[in-house]
Structures are given as C-alpha cells and as structure tokens.
Chains A and B, each alone.
Chain A
Amino acid sequence: MGFMPTISRDEVAHLARLARLDLREDELDHYAEQLDIILASVARVAEVAAADVPATSHPIPLTNVMRADVARVWLTAEEALSGAPASDGRRFRVPRILDEE
C-alpha cells in the first residue's frame, strides 16, 4: 500500500496543545507513529468523487427545534456543585485565569 507520512511529531505536539493534553515525550513518539497510520487510512474518503454532493451533519433532518421559554426547577446550587473538584459553596473554584501569557 502506498504509504505517505501525513503527520510529524511536532504536529502531534501542536495538536496535543490545542486539545489541552499534556502528553509525555514517549507518548508523542508513540502517537506520531499511530496517528500517521490512522490518518493515512481515513484519507481514503478523498477517493470518493463528491464535489456536487451536499454534506450531512445530522442523520435525521430536524430544523429549529424550539421549546417554550418557561422557567422550571432544575438543579440547586448545591446539587450543581456536588461533583466539583473545588467550590466555595456558592461557586466553582478554579485555578487563576488571568496573568497568563
């Protein structure tokens, strides 16, 4: 099979950054090899002549599904925070979000 490298180790590192995955060095090597093979395999979709074919993003066409804008009881603050790694009882507590590059 004509095998064409499609992704480099640097590109994998870039993807990992975009996807917020702090990959280890050995993972970068491993994934570079595997993603190359997977992407070469899925690139087959390009063989299909489909220039004039519309795209399908959703299997059953439904448009503008709306519901009435009615307030209802849902989770309490306590319930919503029940699975949080950190909270102050009223809000989610998160690491600092400012002063970053």
Chain B
Amino acid sequence: MQQHLTRLSAADIAAAISDGDVSATEVTRAHLDRIAEVDERVHAFLHIDDEGALATAAAVDAKRKAGEPLGPLAGVPLALKDVMTMRGIPTTCGSRILEGWRPPYDSTVVERLRAADVVILGKTNMDEFAMGSSTEHSAYGPSHNPWDLDRIPGGSGGGSAAAIAAFEAPLAIGTDTGGSIRQPAAVTGTVGVKPTYGGVSRFGLVALASSLDQAGPCARTVEDAALLHAAIAGHDPRDSTSLTDPVPAVVEAARRGDVRGLRVGLVKELSGEGYQAGVTQRFNEAVDILTELGAEVVEVSCPHFDYALAAYYLILPAEASSNLARFDGMRFGLRAGDTGELGVEEVMSLTREAGFGAEVKRRIMIGTYALSSGYYDAYYGQAQKVRTLIQRDFAAAFEQADVLISPTAPTTAFRIGEKVDDPIAMYLNDVATIPVNLAGNCAMSLPIGLAPEDGLPVGLQIMAPARADERLYNAGAALEAALRDRWGHLLIEEAPAL
C-alpha cells in the first residue's frame, strides 16, 4: 500500500483521503519514505520539512474527522521549487549567497497552497537563481534524471520535475522564465505549464527577470496540473503585474479534452535543423494523432522566432543584473570580507564574488554590458523591439490557429557535464520555449513518447494566447488520453525502477 500511494495521481489521492480510504498522514509518510529511499540518488530536494508536512497532514485528517469539507487537493503532497519563499523554511535559490536564509514571510503561492491544505514536503533543487537548463548550476550539486541518473533532469526547475518523475511527490511548483517548467517536464516525461504572465502572483518568488518570470504547476497528468493551476492562480494585490481577470476554467478543460474542430498550428520555425531525429519523429506522430482526433492542423510561420533566443539573452541578463543587485550582503544572506577594515563597496564585491556561481556572474556581466551607456540602444533597446515583433508573430499565428504546437526541447536529456561550460550550447535548449515568455502568453509541455535512438522522453509544447490557458488543458488532455489508450498507461510508468 505504501509504495502504491506514491504512484497515485493527485486527484486520486485527494479522492481517497476525502472518502476515508487512506489518511493524509499515511499519504505523507509514504512520500517521505520514498524520498528517504531514492533522493540520495535523484537529489531532487534541497530541504525536507518532515515536521511541517506531517503537521499539515494531521490537520487535514482532523478536518475530515470533524466533517469539515475538504478542497480538491487537501492532503496531497507537493514539492516546492527553492525560489519560492516559505516562512521559516530555508530558501536558497540554489545559491551560496542565500545559504541558511529563512524567509520571514510566505509567498502568495505558498499562502494559497496552505489555504488548499496541500502538504508541502520540502524545497527542490534548481539552477542558481533559475539560470540554467540542467540544474548543474546549482551550488548544491545537480539533480539526476530518474530515467537515467547520468543525465540532467532539465532546468532550472529540474528538482521539481525529478521529484515528480521519481514518484517522490505527485505535484510540484516550478517557475518558468524561458522554459524552466516546460523543458524539465519534457526531459522527465512529466507535464508542466507556464501560465499566462500575471496569472499566478510573483509575490515571494525571488525575481530573476521580472517581465518574464511566471510560476506554474508540474504534475504527472494534465488534470493534476489543472487542479494545481486553479489552486495557485488568481489576482493578488501584492503583485502589481497580477492579472485581474478571472482564472481560466482549466480544470473543466482538462476534463473535457476534445479537439474536434480545433485549429492547431505547426510553427515552421520551431522544427527541422537542430531538432533530434527521434524528437521530430515522435512529434510528427503526435500531430497525426491530433488529426485523427478531429483537429484541423495548419502550418504557421513566425519569422521573428529566429531572433527570440538572442533577444532573450539580452533582456533576461539586463533584468537579472538589476534584480540581483539586492544580494549585497547587507540585509540577508552571506557577507564576506567584513573584517572591520574594508568599506561597504569592497565588502559587497567580496560577498558577491564568493556567493555567486559562474553562470550568475556571466549573466550579471552581460546584463550590465547591455544596459551600459553606448550599448543600450543597440542591445537592450533593439531586443525590446524584437520582443514586439515576436508578439506580432504570435498574434498573426493565433488568427489562423487556436493553439500552436512544437517540440518542447530540441533534444532529449543530455549527459551531466556535457554542456556545463558551453553557455551557447546550453542556451539552445530553450529555443522553442523562449518565445512564449517574451510574448507573455501561456504554454504546456506534455510527454508524447520515447525517442527511439536513446529511449528517453520527448515533450510536445502547446501554446495558447494570453488569458486562454484553458485551451492548453483541453488540447493536452485530448492528446494525453489518446496516448494513454495506445500505451495502456502513462509514459512515466515506463520509467525504470529506482
């Protein structure tokens, strides 16, 4: 029974708890046991909060006993990316500069998870300050892909994706600035969604690039992702970029899963050269399935997507260099070199040198360069114009199609160490996911099979216009159901036993 509990979906766990078939405490213990059993090899977690998790579970069990109504995720365990503040629980963002910091407040996402009686198991590993596509830039060592422990689980939210793929938790929170939810989902055979910008509050999310960052759900099924999305989304007056619109009907859409008559656009620029053969093969098969299901598949062109990566690697470092100025060794985190003789600027420089890793320093310097006088117009200003053109490409494409699709990542999971000191090769992982962040609309990655050449998961990306997140869940659920019929199970159930 214990092992079995960790294989259930979030929806099934919540139903079992609500029906009294199992207690939230038993569910939580089963997941903590699973973490104790496998996380030494997976390294999905940076911190486990057994005590807090069991206390929440006990509260859920008490509520049920008292006959109080339980929400749709009450008692369901969740792994939280370490970029999200949680009162009293270490929050490092994968960096030495925040080692040991315990935030004095909850992020809005955590507040909403608490209100939904979700059991937060702990904090997951990530590339330092969410800069990376592999978790190799974590100051605490990489996480490992449960499909092959010598490979990366994607990044920056590789810990969250690995935790789900290793059955350490049925749900996780990720954040997606250029693909950090979707690319890890793709390479671990799980589901990940980047909501519309402003759909989920950024209050308490340690900022990387404020105009791109968005938190979202990670899960093993489309329905579970929708349940989590609905729990964390919605207006928050503490985030001035938070949308005031009602939350899209994502759960209903995930339960509908009907693509008959849906216009699906294939993005010409997100295919071909640079995409692994097995990724392209599985993608083409998925397109055929969508056609069989009654979708109307058309080809669309988004010519400026070819410049998205370049624009992103100017805009992101520019915003990051500014956001990361707060890590100055004065109010929280590390302070180095404060011997009493040195002045504040020297202490700041020594602190940042000691506390930041190589990729963070690289991006801070690129951002500083892009924002410096003389280069501002040519780099940052021009990148912002390209951003407008990418938005226009999306707008034109969404006149021809209701959703757009592409492979999520050009390749399956690569080996740990393969690209760690080749920034350009690493950046190319995000080529298909970045346009969505620049435009602010929403996207999902879901598993569509294993690449024949290496037996590793392939992800398909569905993109929808801003505020139309429900379209992702409708199309995703249809494709997931068709694949499940074909395989007789979810792809993740084929992952090797750990």
A-B residue pair count with CB separations less than 8 angstroms: 182
Q: Are B349 and A21 in contact (CB under 8 A)?
A: yes
Q: How far is the CA of A17 from the CA of B105 in the complex (A)?
A: 33
Q: Which residue from chain A places its CB closest to the CB of B381 in the assembled complex?
A: A55
Confirm or deny: A4 has a beta carbon within 8 angstroms of a beta carbon on chain B: no
Find B378's partner among A46, A56, A99 (CB 8 Å cutoff): A46
Q: How far is the CA of A95 from the CA of B362 in the complex (A)?
A: 27
Q: Tell me whether chain B's interface is mostly helix, strand or loop, or mixed.
A: helix
Q: Are A47 and B329 in contact (CB under 8 A)?
A: no
Q: Which residue from chain B places its CB closest to the CB of A47 in the assembled complex?
A: B307
A37 to chain B, nearest CB (A): 6
Find B362's partner among A38, A42, A55 (CB 8 Å cutoff): A38
> Per-residue 0/1 for A74-100: is the Cβ within 8 Å of any B Cβ (1 yes, 0 no)?
010001101111100000101111011
Q: How far is the CA of A32 from the CA of B14 in the complex (A)?
A: 54
Q: How far is the CA of A41 from the CA of B347 in the complex (A)?
A: 34
Q: Are B103 and A20 in contact (CB under 8 A)?
A: no
A71 neighbours in B (Cβ, 8 Å): none
Confirm or deny: A22 has a beta carbon within 8 angstroms of a beta carbon on chain B: yes
Confirm or deny: B330 has a beta carbon within 8 angstroms of a beta carbon on chain A: yes
B332 neighbours in A (Cβ, 8 Å): 83-85
> Per-residue 0/1 for A1-35: is the Cβ within 8 Å of any B Cβ (1 yes, 0 no)?
00000010001100111111111100100010011
Q: Are B379 and A45 in contact (CB under 8 A)?
A: yes
Q: Are B381 and A99 in contact (CB under 8 A)?
A: no
Q: Are B304 and A48 in contact (CB under 8 A)?
A: yes
A47 neighbours in B (Cβ, 8 Å): 307
Find A59's partner among B197, B365, B369, B378 (CB 8 Å cutoff): B197
Q: Are A83 and B310 in contact (CB under 8 A)?
A: no
Q: How far is the CA of A7 from the CA of B372 in the complex (A)?
A: 13
Q: How far is the CA of A49 from the CA of B342 in the complex (A)?
A: 49
Q: Are B311 and A100 in contact (CB under 8 A)?
A: no
Using A45-B383, A85-B335, A86-B338 as known contacts, say yes or no to A96 and B352 having CB atoms under 8 A apart.
no
Q: Which of A16, A35, A47, A83 has most chain B Cβ within 10 Å?
A: A83
Q: Are A35 and B352 in contact (CB under 8 A)?
A: no
Q: Are A42 and B310 in contact (CB under 8 A)?
A: yes
Q: How far is the CA of A31 from the CA of B331 in the complex (A)?
A: 29
Q: Are B101 and A83 in contact (CB under 8 A)?
A: yes
Find B311's partner among A45, A62, A79 (CB 8 Å cutoff): A45
Q: Are A44 and B307 in contact (CB under 8 A)?
A: yes
Q: Are B361 and A45 in contact (CB under 8 A)?
A: no
B216 to chain A, nearest CB (A): 15
A37 neighbours in B (Cβ, 8 Å): 423-424
Confirm or deny: B323 has a beta carbon within 8 angstroms of a beta carbon on chain A: no
Using A18-B368, A59-B211 as known contacts, say yes or no to A50 and B385 having CB atoms under 8 A apart.
yes
> Per-residue 0/1 for B365-396: is the Cβ within 8 Å of any A Cβ (1 yes, 0 no)?
11011001000001101111111110100000
Q: Which residue from chain B places its CB closest to the CB of A96 in the assembled complex?
A: B343
A70 to chain B, nearest CB (A): 11
Q: Which residue from chain A places its CB closest to the CB of B88 in the assembled complex?
A: A82
Q: Which residue from chain B places its CB closest to the CB of A27 in the assembled complex?
A: B361
Confirm or deny: B237 has a beta carbon within 8 angstroms of a beta carbon on chain A: yes
Confirm or deny: B463 has a beta carbon within 8 angstroms of a beta carbon on chain A: no
Confirm or deny: B42 has a beta carbon within 8 angstroms of a beta carbon on chain A: no
Confirm or deny: B314 has a beta carbon within 8 angstroms of a beta carbon on chain A: yes
Using A15-B365, A42-B313, A60-B241 as known contacts, say yes or no to A48 and B386 having CB atoms under 8 A apart.
yes
Find A22's partner among B335, B353, B362 (CB 8 Å cutoff): B353
A23 neighbours in B (Cβ, 8 Å): 353, 361
B419 to chain A, nearest CB (A): 13
Confirm or deny: B62 has a beta carbon within 8 angstroms of a beta carbon on chain A: no
Q: How far is the CA of A62 from the CA of B212 in the complex (A)?
A: 15
Q: How far is the CA of A34 from the CA of B372 in the complex (A)?
A: 19
Confirm or deny: B364 has a beta carbon within 8 angstroms of a beta carbon on chain A: yes
What 19 new A-B contacts, CB under 8 Å, besides A41-B313, A84-B330? A12-B365, A15-B369, A15-B372, A17-B349, A20-B325, A20-B328, A21-B353, A27-B361, A45-B379, A48-B386, A48-B389, A54-B385, A55-B388, A56-B384, A75-B105, A84-B331, A85-B329, A85-B333, A92-B330
Can you list 17 pairs linking A and B with CB atoms under 8 Å apart? A16-B365, A18-B368, A20-B328, A21-B356, A34-B423, A38-B362, A43-B378, A47-B307, A55-B381, A57-B211, A58-B241, A60-B196, A82-B102, A83-B102, A83-B331, A85-B333, A92-B331
Sorted nearest first, the 10 A-B pairs with minimum C-beta distance are: A59-B440, A85-B335, A55-B384, A83-B332, A50-B385, A79-B104, A22-B349, A22-B353, A65-B240, A56-B387
Q: What residues of chain A have their CB less than 8 Å away from a CB belonging to chain B?
A: 7, 11-12, 15-24, 27, 31, 34-35, 37-39, 41-48, 50, 53-60, 62, 65, 67, 75, 79-80, 82-86, 92, 94-97, 99-100
